[in-house]
Amino acid sequence: MANKTEQKKESNSKMGSLFDVYSLWDIEPKKASGCWVWGADNTKYLDLYGGHAVISIGHTHPHYAKMLKNQIDNIVFYSNSVQNKLQVELSEKLGQLSGYPNYSLFLCNSGAEANENALKLASFHTGKKRIIAFKEAFHGRTSGAVAITDNPSIQAPFNTGHEVTFLPLNNIVAVEEALKEGDYAAVIIEPIQGVAGIYTAEPEFLQKLQTLCHKHNVVFIIDEVQSGYGRTGKFFAHQYANVQPDIIAMAKGMGNGFPIGGILISPKFEAKKGMLGTTFGGNHLACAAAIAVLDVIKEENLIENAVEIGAYLKEQLKDCKGIKEVRGEGLMIGIELEAQYVDLRNKLLFESHIFTGGAKNNVMRLLPPLSISKKEIDIFIEAYKKQTQQ
C-alpha cells in the first residue's frame, strides 16, 4: 500500500497546473449511488465520509437528479435582482422542517460564507466587533471565518486583525468573565465540533451560554455547517439542548453536493437593503438541489434513520477493539483510536474499500449519508474487525 507521501507525489505528477494545496488519495470517483462510490478502475467503495459530511440524502438520489435535470432545462441562474419563487419555497420548507418557521433565510454558497455573513450581521446589529469563539473550533477559511478558527497555521497575516477571544469549550465561567468586559458582538459555537474530532458542547453549557448572550446583548450564533440537516438525529444538533440561537449557519448537507449555504435569522434582526448580498447565492439550480434534499429528508424519514442507525453503529462498536472513546450523536460519530491503530483508516480505504473521515492522528470520523442501512454498517464493522484482527 502506498503511503500518504507516495500517494501525494503520484497525484502531484498528474495534477497539471492545479495549485497543490490538497493531500490526495490516489482514487478517482467516477460514479456514485446511495452510500456507494465507484473509482475509475471500477473498485466499489462504501462511503462513510460523505465527501466530508456533504452527502446527506445519498449520492445521485433519483428525486434529486430529476429536480436538477428539470431545473437545468428551465433556468439555471439569474441574479438576486428578480423574483425567485424557488428561494421562497426553500425558505418555507426549511422553516417548517427545521422548526424555525419564523426565522428568515439568507442564501450564500458555502459554510465559510454563511459564518462570514452571520458575523457581519451580528456586528451590524450590535455596532460592535469583538467575537468569542472556542478553542479547537473550525469555521472556514474566508477572512472572518478563519479568524474565529483556532488554527494559526491557516491564518495569513491579512486575516489577523480581527478581535477574537478563544475560550475553552464547556467552560461557562470563562465565558461569563469575558462577557463582563462588555464590547462583544457575538459568540459563535459549533454544537458538536467536527474538525476538532467530534467534541460536544454540553446541553447545560449551551443553555447557560444563551442566557449570558441575552443578558449582555450579544448575538448567539450556532455553526451547524457540519452538524446540521439531520446529521445528528435532530434537524440541528443544538436542538438537543433546547436552545434557540439568534443566527444559524448551514451548508454541507444542504445541497447534497451542490454548493449552497445559508443563515437562518431570528425575527429580531431588521433587514436593510444592501446589508448582505451575493451574486450566486440562492440561484435557481442551487435552490432546486436544496428543495430536493428537504423533500427526501422528509419523505424518507432520514432524521429518524440517523437516530436509529447511529444507535446501532454505537452498539456494534462496543464489540470492537482499539477504541478509547466513541463520541457524537446520530451519524456524526468520532472514534478515538488507540495509538497503534493510527493506520486503520488507510487499511479500511485501500484494503477494505471503505471511506472514513479523520481528525488529528487518531480520530476516525464517520459522516455517512443519512440514508445508510444497518446492512451497510455491518459491512463496516466486519471490515473494522478484520483490519484490527479480531
Residues found near ligand PLP in the complex (CB under 6 A): 110-112, 115, 138-140, 190, 194-195, 223, 225-226, 251
Whichever of 140 and 310 has its CB closer to ligand PLP, that residue is: 140
Task: Report the nearest approach of ligand PLP to the CB of residue 4 (Å).
Answer: 20
Whichever of 118 and 287 has its CB closer to ligand PLP, that residue is: 118
Task: Report the nearest approach of ligand PLP to the CB of residue 259 (Å).
Answer: 8
Whichever of 194 and 322 has its CB closer to ligand PLP, that residue is: 194
Task: Report the nearest approach of ligand PLP to the CB of residue 258 (Å).
Answer: 12
Whichever of 111 and 368 has its CB closer to ligand PLP, that residue is: 111
Task: Report the nearest approach of ligand PLP to the CB of residue 387 (Å).
Answer: 26
Task: Report the nearest approach of ligand PLP to the CB of residue 62 (Å).
Answer: 26
Residue 106 gets which letter from DSSP? E
Task: Report the nearest approach of ligand PLP to the CB of residue 236 (Å).
Answer: 12
**Among 172, 71, 185, 64, residue whose Cα is nearest residue 128:** 185
Q: Where are the beta strands (DSSP E) in 157-306?
A: 164-167, 184-189, 192-193, 199-200, 219-223, 247-250, 261-265
Task: Report the nearest approach of ligand PLP to the CB of residue 139 (Å).
Answer: 5
CB 1 within 8 A of CB 7: no
Buried-state track 281-298, b at ≥16 Cβ within 10 A, e below 16: bbbbbbbbbbbbbbbbbe
CB 218 within 8 A of CB 184: yes
* C-alpha grid cell, residue 195: 474538525
Whichever of 133 and 383 has its CB closer to ligand PLP, that residue is: 133
Task: Report the nearest approach of ligand PLP to the CB of residue 189 (Å).
Answer: 10
Whichever of 222 and 383 has its CB closer to ligand PLP, that residue is: 222
**Among 386, 375, 331, 373, residue whose Cα is nearest residue 356:** 331
What is d(CA 390, CA 19) in angstroms, rounded to the nearest whole number? 42
Whichever of 194 and 253 has its CB closer to ligand PLP, that residue is: 194
CB 112 within 8 A of CB 143: no
Residue showing the smallest CB distance to ligand PLP in the complex: 111
CB 187 within 8 A of CB 131: yes
What is d(CA 370, CA 331) in angstroms, rounded to the nearest whole number? 7
**Among 202, 139, 210, 215, residue whose Cα is nearest residue 171:** 202
Task: Report the nearest approach of ligand PLP to the CB of residue 66 (Å).
Answer: 25
Whichever of 149 and 388 has its CB closer to ligand PLP, that residue is: 149
* C-alpha grid cell, residue 240: 438537543
Secondary structure class of 127 (helix, strand, coil):
coil
CB contact set of 121 (below 8 Å; sequence gap of 6+): 219, 247, 263, 265, 269, 275, 276
Whichever of 137 and 348 has its CB closer to ligand PLP, that residue is: 137
**Helix axis angle, 302-317 to 374-387, nearest 10°:** 30
Whichever of 182 and 277 has its CB closer to ligand PLP, that residue is: 277
**Among 258, 257, 240, 238, residue whose Cα is nearest residue 248:** 238
Task: Report the nearest approach of ligand PLP to the CB of residue 50 (Å).
Answer: 12
Which alpha helices (DSSP H) does 181-236 contain, by range?
Answer: 203-216
